[in-house]
Each structure stands twice: as structure tokens, then as C-alpha cells.
Amino acid sequence: MITDNHPFKINEAGHLEAGGVDLVNLAETYGTPLYVYDVSIIRDNCRQFIQTFKELGVQAQVAYASKAFSAIAMLQVVNQEGMSLDVVSKGELYTALQADVPVNKIHLHGNNKSLEELTMAIDHDIGCIVVDNFYEIDLIERILHDKHKTIHVLMRVTPGIESNTHQYIMTGNEDSKFGFNLSNGQADQAFLRLRRNSRIHVKGLHSHIGSQLFESDGPLLAAQLLFQKLDYWHTEYGFIPDVLNLGGGFGIRYTAEDEPLSYPAFVKELVSAVQQHAAAIEIPTPEIWIEPGRAIAGNAGLTLYTVGAMKTVPGVRHYISVDGGMTDNLRPALYQAAYEGVLANKASLPNVQTVSVAGKCCESGDILIWNLPLPAVEPNDILAVFSTGAYGYSMANHYNRFAKPAVVFAENGKSQEVVRRETYEDVVKNDRSYE
Ligand SMILES: *Cc1c(COP(=O)(O)O)cnc(C)c1O
């Protein structure tokens, strides 16, 4: 249902709209499945984070975690809004360079960065490499030595906190594939090794404890543990960090049950905790960096589908099948993610039934929404599924040889295709016949 505070509105024709553009018209023009973003929502999400830091008078970088949705047009928009950028692979770095994101605002992440990826990052003088493990230090030292270069790094550490749905558990053994263990001596060992190398400037620490967080208690607990370590390094080695990076994971609303903390409230809590900790150990407040991905792209995007076959299992369930599924939105199949939607062409009609929305892949698990209240549904209705802007297109795949959908940006009553729909020539373009 479209409530007053819903990010998308209903127009006079009773159709759903995005960026002032009628979504039923968009479906006709560009076909379905179709990802549509309201660009003003992307901008507003960026501004909520950046403005809050500005108002608090705190030095900060808000880096968009581009894995949520990486495409040239998207990176251009977040760059216009003053965001920095996180990339985790050569492909994401390449996309950032193609979008002309200033290299000093790019940060490279990853638990298995290859020699090639690190070389590319160092050759392009990107702003910061978030060092994850000892093998990576070996590779970096080799490249810097050969090229006579210097770099800035953050150290990714695992503070031993896991987000367990909406709660946090402290884990003694810190079983994570990411980062240096804060309590077993590995973080200290890595710190000393990085500091010994005059080509490497250690800017500070990084921690990212999980995604879809609704409260600040997890990151706040992480900050406390990071400052314990910083206190020790300050006392022992005179280390003063330039930066503390508290990661991403800011939750968004997928369904009516989700009640995330507002971004300004989240940022205020983080900032005041960091200021207090820094004062307590008598160091200047470091720059605070955060890395929202989902919170920037998620609620700005939706997916349009055309309804096709319908099937009723008497007394059990009404299925409606759509022309996409786990190929364009893997999250329901991957981790039982829940979504809501409406019929874009019947957006103002009352709901009269509950249906299950099935994708068209050959998997019983390809169900996009298990229980969705809708008006009377007919074939060729246009279903809009909300909050698909993050980890939707970026996880799209070619299962069953589906072609990837197009992406359209809508803003101020205008629309533009920013990723073209794949053709079947695209789908077979890497195939070679066997002679
Ligand atoms: C995935 C990830 C993010 C972004 O997570 P969201 O939940 O999309 O905000 C930020 N930082 C790191 C290191 C990540 O792995």
C-alpha cells in the first residue's frame, strides 16, 4: 500500500510514478523486467549523511559502497553529491574510473585482492587501500618496492562482534574471513609491520560488522573496541589516527515491519561516541568515514514486471508469475529476503486478495514475494516491487539464459536508460562453437 510517507507516489491516472514519470508508460517504452531509480531519492539519501556531518562540524567522508549498485550513471550521481566511493574489485574500480570519480576519493576493499588489482589501484594513486590480511601486505610491499611509490592504508580489523539479525554477539574466536583479529595479536603484528615500511602511511582503522542494521549499538560497540586498541597504540607507539572508518550496513525499509533508525540519528550517535572516546584517550577526534551502500541505492530503486500465468491451488495459494525472478533479484532465493509491491497500473485500487509472486526460473525456490495483498490481478498487469535498488542489478545473473534487464533513471519528469537491456547476442557472446 502507498502510504503518505512512501518514497513513491500515485499520479492522477491512478498509476505509480517515479521521478515524476508514469511507470506504466516506462514499462511500455523500455519493456519489462525493468529496474527504475528515482534519482532524487538517491540524492536525498546522500545528502542526509553528508549534511549531518556538516551540521555537526565533523571532518568526514561518506563513501558509497558501490557493490550495492555499480554502473557509470550511478557513480556519476553519487560523485555529484560529494560522496567518496568504495570498490572491491578490478571491475568496480574500472567502472569508477570510467565514471571519472576522482581517484583520491576511491577506497579499495577486499579479502583477496590480487596482485593485478593492487597494482591497478597503486598505479592510479587511489585514495586509500583497506588492508585486510598478511598476504596482501606482502603483495603491496612488493609493488611499492618495484614502483618506488607510497600509499595510504586503513587496516581492516575484526572487533569480534557479529550482528545476529538485530542483536550483537561478542565472539571470542572472531570467525570471519575479513580483517585482522583485534584481540589475538594479529592486528598489532600487522600494525607494526605496516608502520615499519616508510612507503606506507597508516591512516587508521576500519571495521564493518554487518548489513541491514536498524540500530547503532553494534557499530558503537565496535568503536569502543577500536579505541581500546588505539589507546594502546597511542601510549605504546605514539600513534595518532587520521581516520576511523566504521563501515556501512545502515538498514532500510523493505517491508512495513522494518523500522530503521533515521540516517541523521545514526550519524549523530556515531559522531558523539567517537568524540567521547577520542577525548577519553586524549587524542584529537579522527576523521570519521562511513560506507553506506544499501542506504543510498536501496529505496531509490524498484523493479517493474509484467504479470503472465496465474495458478490457484484451491484452498492453498494463488500464484501469479512474472517475467523475471531470481535472475534480476537473487535476494529472496539467497537469504529469504522479504519485499512489498503494488500493481503500478492499479495503484489506487483496494486490495482484495493475497498472492504469491513467482519468478520464471526453473526452481521452486524462485518466489519473489510469498504473501502480497493486491487488487484483482490479470495477465499484463504491471507489478512494481519496491526497494530493489541495492543488490538487485548488481547480483543479476544469466541463469536459464535470461538477458539482464535495462536500468532507467527518472528525475524531474524525465527518464533515461542508463544501462541498456541485454540482447540474446549478448547472452551468447562468449560462447564458441566446438569444432
Ligand atoms: C557491503 C559492505 C558495505 C555496504 O554495506 P550496506 O549494507 O550496503 O551498507 C560497506 N563496507 C563494507 C566493507 C562492506 O563489505
| Residue of 69, 84, 86 best suited for mutating to test ligand 1, as the one with most atoms within 8 Å of CB | 86
Domain boundary pick from 245, 270, 292: 292
Q: What is the 421 CA–ligand 1 centroid distance (Å)?
A: 27
- Give the mean pLDDT per block of 10 residues along the chain (435 residues): 86 97 98 98 98 98 98 98 98 98 98 97 98 98 95 94 64 74 94 97 95 91 96 98 97 94 96 98 98 98 98 95 98 95 97 97 96 98 98 97 98 98 97 96
Residue 212 Cα: closest atom of ligand 1 = 7
- So what's the pLDDT on residue 142? 97
Residue 390 Cα: closest atom of ligand 1 = 8
| Residue 252 maps to a domain | yes
Nearest in space to 417 (alpha carbons), one of 29, 94, 99: 29
- So what's the pLDDT on residue 173? 52
- So what's the pLDDT on residue 204? 98
| Residue 10 maps to a domain | yes
| Residue 434 maps to a domain | no
Residue 68 Cα: closest atom of ligand 1 = 8
- So what's the pLDDT on residue 335? 87
- So what's the pLDDT on residue 164? 62
46 catalytic per annotation:
no
Query: In percent, how much of the chain has pLDDT > 90?
Result: 92
Residue 109 Cα: closest atom of ligand 1 = 13
| Residue 78 maps to a domain | no
Residue 211 Cα: closest atom of ligand 1 = 7
Q: What is the 428 CA–ligand 1 centroid distance (Å)?
A: 32
Which residue has the CA at smallest separation from atom 10 of ligand 1? Answer: 248
371 and 257 belong to one structural domain: no
288 and 313 belong to one structural domain: no
C-alpha dihedral sign at 292, 339, 309, 381: negative
Domain boundary pick from 271, 292, 313: 292
309 and 169 belong to one structural domain: no
| Residue 88 maps to a domain | no
d(CA 407, CA 420): 7
Residue 80 grid cell: 555529484
Which residue has the CA at smallest separation from atom 15 of ligand 1? Answer: 208
Which residue ranges are tagged as binding site for substrate?
294, 331, 335, 363, 391
Q: Domains in the chain: how many in total?
A: 2
For position 406, which CATH number holds? 2.40.37.10
| Residue of 128, 263, 291, 387 best suited for mutating to test ligand 1, as the one with most atoms within 8 Å of CB | 291
| Residue 102 maps to a domain | no
Residue 298 Cα: closest atom of ligand 1 = 8
286 and 375 belong to one structural domain: no
211 and 251 belong to one structural domain: yes
Nearest in space to 371 (alpha carbons), one of 350, 356, 351, 360: 356
- So what's the pLDDT on residue 198? 96
Residues with CB under 6 A from ligand 1: 65, 67-68, 86, 109, 208, 211, 247-250, 291-295, 390
- So what's the pLDDT on residue 179? 93
126 and 262 belong to one structural domain: yes
Q: What is the 350 CA–ligand 1 centroid distance (Å)?
A: 38
- 28 CB-side CA count, 13 A: 7
119 and 243 belong to one structural domain: yes
| Residue 87 maps to a domain | no
205 and 183 belong to one structural domain: yes
Question: Annotated catalytic residue: which of 46, 128, 361, 362?
Answer: 362
- So what's the pLDDT on residue 160? 82
| Residue 81 maps to a domain | no
| Residue of 211, 296, 395 best suited for mutating to test ligand 1, as the one with most atoms within 8 Å of CB | 211
Q: What is the 110 CA–ligand 1 centroid distance (Å)?
A: 11
Which residue ranges are tagged as binding site?
249, 291-294, 331, 335, 363, 391
279 and 144 belong to one structural domain: yes
Amino acid at residue number 75: L
Domain boundary pick from 292, 309, 325: 292
All residues at 6 or more sequence positions from 238 whose CB lies less than 8 Å from its CB, including other chains = none
Q: What is the 206 CA–ligand 1 centroid distance (Å)?
A: 12
- So what's the pLDDT on residue 313? 94
Which residue ranges are tagged as binding site for pyridoxal 5'-phosphate?
249, 291-294, 391
Domain that holds residue 349: 2-38+298-428
311 and 288 belong to one structural domain: no
Please answer whether residues 351 and 13 qualify as being in contact, where contact means their C-beta atoms are separated by less than 8 angstroms: no
Q: What is the 189 CA–ligand 1 centroid distance (Å)?
A: 26
For position 167, which CATH number holds? 3.20.20.10
179 and 304 belong to one structural domain: no
Q: What is the 249 CA–ligand 1 centroid distance (Å)?
A: 5
416 and 394 belong to one structural domain: yes
